[in-house]
Chains A and B, each alone.
Chain A
Amino acid sequence: MPLRLVPRLAPSRLALYGAPLLAVAATVVFGYVLFLAIGRDPLTALHAYFIAPVNSRFGLSEWLLTALPLTLIGLGLAVGFRANVWNIGAEGQLLLGAIGGGAVALALWREGVPGTFLLVCIAGALAGMAWAAIPAFLRTRFNANEILTSLMLIYVADQLLGYLVHGALRNPQGFGFPESRLFSAEAIMPNLLSGTRLHVGWLLVPLAVLAMWFLMSRTVTGFRLQVSGEAAGAAAYAGFSQKRMVWLSFLLTGGLAGVVGAMEVAGPVGQLLPEISPGYGFAAIIVAFLGRLSPVGVLLAAHLLALILIGGENVQMLGVPVAVAQLFQGVLLVALLASDVLVRYRVVRLGRLGRGSA
């Protein structure tokens, strides 16, 4: 092999920020080739994918609206991944948030209490945390792998939602369709920008980014989380409880995913449906990695992923399968992981070190 990886003594700053850009560039190139291969004009298609959807005031607001869940969940996941806690089940926690928030909205359907939407969000957060507590408990108490348990719980949550909208929470006047009644006006997230669907929940974005920055860079708890993730041996040696980190990571992400779920049903949708999320919980995993597990990085990455999701919808008009969005996500994540090697290693050509006589 002519090339060899040599570990760096300190991570490369340039590569740290350059690698995500490289990955994005690689994904765009992939898109170009893909569109060419399926007989679409690549530039038209790329324009339809990445530019056209956000080329208007409404488009921009939809972009922010899609980036909202990705940012919030991505921030939670970033904290967890920093602590080496692998919560892959944010999608399920989101669904439980939708169920919890939806149940409160439906329970208060007739009451007309002002500010019900706040209760809806709180209920969503609690429900998401409760769902996240299951893998946390199984991991800390029984040592069960949290990746597998949190993932299995997505499917359970999905069935639970299906069960409820087919049964207890179904709209009695809905002709048997599997959906709840429409929430009352008090339970709907107040609008933030007239003429758009952007709601006040978006205000959580800057708040959460700031809070996460403070947690990770200024608090002892944030420091402990990072030590746990970087070197479990050092964390044990320094007396940081691994279990507490697992709990913290899960509850934080569960709470954020739960709020997101509640805001989805109390926001643009306005009722409980069997399908709530276009895979926000999975896309947020990519957001966390692409954003280098840092708050501002997550914010930027969430907007890129939001663009990929929206664009996927938009290119359907060109007869491109909507699954192209998921394909792009996969390519982006693979490209990102591959370019990450530059952060930790230098690529050296054999012979530059001097092979002597050879």
Chain B
Amino acid sequence: MIDTALVLAILVSALRTATPLIFAALGELVVEKSGCVNLGVEGMMLVGAVAGFAIGLTTGNFALAFLVGALAGAALSLVYGVLVLFLMVNQYAAGLALTILGGGASAFWGQRWQGQNMRGLQPVEMPGLSQLPVVGSVFTRLDIMVYVALAAAALIAWALLRTRLGLVLRAVGENHDSAHALGFSVIRVRFAAIAFGGAMAGIGGAYLSCVITPLWIEGMTAGRGWIAVALVVFATWKPGRVVLGAWLFGLVSVMQIHGQGLGLAVPSHILAMLPYLVTILVLVLISRDATRIRLAAPGSLGKAFRPTA
């Protein structure tokens, strides 16, 4: 008999751990829907994390911290946008460059914050939900950004399917030549999508440093940006599945913390491998059906676009 308090504690940590992944992966999903693969999520999360932490620590205003984290991520994503959209650089290479640049920049400017403590964003009580039997206490232990992430997923799913903006975004990602021929600005749509993706990754990073740890540690994303990219593939470019996937990773990741409580006699180093191994596993499971991936992926994904004129 596993005790209920432990299960609820695991649930709370899993939901929190999933939140930065949801933000970052939703952003990447929008970018990929427009036809670009930005592998620089890791770098954008890191600059978001350091920027958010700096603001959170100095002002204590977390709304501002997330805003600045988003701006930092978006600012870095513009480097990718310029490289890919105007200079026709290979998207993979540009994304890698962004990861290295973001890692370096955040480590460089973050050194002064390294090791400093702050009181992170505090949980809020969700009216109604917190009155539920058994699980009610979960909804007193989560912060507002957990709910914002879910709302963002719903909003993006709705916008993609039901709005003109979403239709144009999908069209640009599906076939940029046709979209161009109809008079849509492929570059402008993609630039906006890339900036949005950067902002979302920045928020995800800020969530790590302002809520989860709450600390700034060099390279603290530890591959979460890459897992976010993998999640988009795993979710076959559907926002709802991004959330499900992120929850799964949240659960796996917190095993390391709660392993002992659950009586798992596995060394912590091995438990720490789990999120990465699970990422590989789900990638393999989803990718082995090549047809499914090809039908789900945006048609112009990864291809360079140069308007002929």
| A touching B, CB within 8 angstroms | yes
On A, residues with C-beta under 8 Å from B are 4-5, 7, 86, 88, 138, 142-145, 147-149, 151-156, 159-160, 162-163, 166-167, 282, 285-286, 289, 321, 323-331, 333-334, 337-338, 340-341, 344-345
* Majority secondary structure of chain A interface residues (helix, strand, loop or mixed): helix
Q: Do A155 and B104 have beta carbons less than 8 Å apart? A: no
Contact with A along B283-299 (1 / 0, CB 8 A): 11001101001000000
Q: Do A341 and B89 have beta carbons less than 8 Å apart? A: yes
Query: Which residue in A149, A153, A156, A327 is a CB contact (below 8 Å) of B101?
Result: A327
Cα separation A326 to B105 with both chains bound (whole Å):
8
Chain A minimum-CB-distance residue to B282: A144
A-B contact pairs, 11 of them (CB 8 A): A144-B280, A144-B283, A148-B229, A149-B280, A159-B273, A327-B105, A327-B108, A330-B98, A333-B100, A334-B97, A337-B87
A86-B92, A321-B111, A337-B94 known; A143+B288 contact, CB < 8 A = yes
A144-B280, A149-B280, A156-B277 known; A163+B270 contact, CB < 8 A = yes
Residue among A88, A282, A330 with the highest chain B CB neighbour number at 10 A: A330
A138-B284, A340-B89 known; A334+B79 contact, CB < 8 A = yes
Chain B minimum-CB-distance residue to A323: B107
Contact with A along B76-93 (1 / 0, CB 8 A): 000100110001111011
Q: Do A155 and B288 have beta carbons less than 8 Å apart? A: no
6 other A-B residue contacts (CB within 8 Å) besides A330-B103, A333-B100, A337-B83: A148-B229, A148-B280, A151-B226, A323-B104, A327-B107, A330-B105
Q: Do B287 and A143 have beta carbons less than 8 Å apart? A: yes
Interface size class of B (residues with CB under 8 A): 35 or more
Q: Do B87 and A148 have beta carbons less than 8 Å apart? A: no
Contact with A along B103-138 (1 / 0, CB 8 A): 111011011000000000000000000000000000
Cα separation A176 to B262 with both chains bound (whole Å):
27
Q: Do B273 and A5 have beta carbons less than 8 Å apart? A: no
Total A-B Cβ pairs within 8 A: 139
Cα separation A148 to B277 with both chains bound (whole Å):
11
On B, residues with C-beta under 8 Å from A are 39, 43, 79, 82-83, 87-90, 92-94, 96-98, 100-105, 107-108, 110-111, 218, 222-223, 226-227, 229-230, 233, 267, 269-270, 272-273, 276-277, 279-280, 283-284, 287-288, 290, 293, 306, 309
Q: Do A159 and B104 have beta carbons less than 8 Å apart? A: no
Q: Do A159 and B100 have beta carbons less than 8 Å apart? A: no
A86-B92, A327-B108 known; A333+B288 contact, CB < 8 A = no
Q: Which residues of B contact A289 (CB under 8 A)?
A: 93
A138-B284, A142-B287 known; A326+B100 contact, CB < 8 A = yes
* Closest-CB distance, B188 to chain A (whole angstroms): 12
Q: Do A159 and B108 have beta carbons less than 8 Å apart? A: no
Chain B minimum-CB-distance residue to A328: B104
A285-B96, A330-B100, A330-B101 known; A163+B269 contact, CB < 8 A = yes
Q: Which residues of B contact A167 (CB under 8 A)?
A: 267
Residue among A5, A145, A151, A338 with the highest chain B CB neighbour number at 10 A: A151
Q: Which residues of B contact A154 (CB under 8 A)?
A: 223
Q: Which residues of B contact A142 (CB under 8 A)?
A: 284, 287-288
Cα separation A233 to B293 with both chains bound (whole Å):
20
Query: Which residue in A145, A153, A338 is a CB contact (below 8 Å) of B276?
Result: A153
Q: Do B218 and A286 have beta carbons less than 8 Å apart? A: no
Cα separation A40 to B203 with both chains bound (whole Å):
33
Chain A minimum-CB-distance residue to B226: A151
Chain B minimum-CB-distance residue to A151: B226
